[in-house]
Amino acid sequence: MQPAFEAEFVAGLKEIFEERIVFNRLIGLRIDAVAAEGVSGHLPMRHELIGHYAHQRLHGGVISAGLDAMGGLAVMAAIGARHLDEPPAQRLQRFGKLGTIDLRIDYLRPAVGERFALHAEVLRLGSRVATTRMELRGAQDRLFATGAAAYIVS
């Protein structure tokens, strides 16, 4: 069990992922929980996010963007836990070196609903590469999509 993060660190990550990554703001990504063991967030449905007009379902690109962002956030949380000795501001600067290497998304079911829950966890954090696993769920915890991604971290 990892210790909880300082409010300053969590607020800093929220600002980065919700506001400063402009495209995340465009899709409306909201962060709900940040821990070394995993991170959670959600996406409210909006007309602009529709992919297939005939089915009113969430665009696959919104799903991949949201899951990629959550994977990156999970890596930042794991890095944060590894460097608890550093002040929060210094830990947040490590985001400048984070980059997605590659991403796979499996679209299991049409993502229809008013709100989508996102979750990500780090499977391995190395000194140079981190690997994550992500999920997007709808009402009744129904699994809509899963993802896997690799990130460069140093």
Binding site for a copy of itself (CB under 8 A): 20-24, 26-27, 47-54, 59-62, 64-66, 68-69, 96, 99-110, 123-124, 128-129, 131, 133, 143, 146, 148, 150, 152, 154
Q: How far is the CB of 89 from a copy of itself (least distance, A)?
A: 15
Residue nearer to a copy of itself on the CB measure, 11 or 84? 11
Q: How far is the CB of 57 from a copy of itself (least distance, A)?
A: 9
Residue nearer to a copy of itself on the CB measure, 1 or 47? 47
d(CA 33, CA 46): 22
Residue nearer to a copy of itself on the CB measure, 20 or 83? 20
Letter string b/e over residues 34-56, b meaning 16 or more CB atoms within 10 A of that residue's CB? bbbebbbbbbebeeebebeeeee
Q: How far is the CB of 120 from a copy of itself (least distance, A)?
A: 14
DSSP assignment letter at 112? -
d(CA 143, CA 117): 9
127: left (phi over 0), alpha (psi -120 to 50) or beta: alpha
Sign of the torsion formed by the C-alpha atoms of 16, 19, 24 and 28? positive
Residue nearer to a copy of itself on the CB measure, 66 or 88? 66
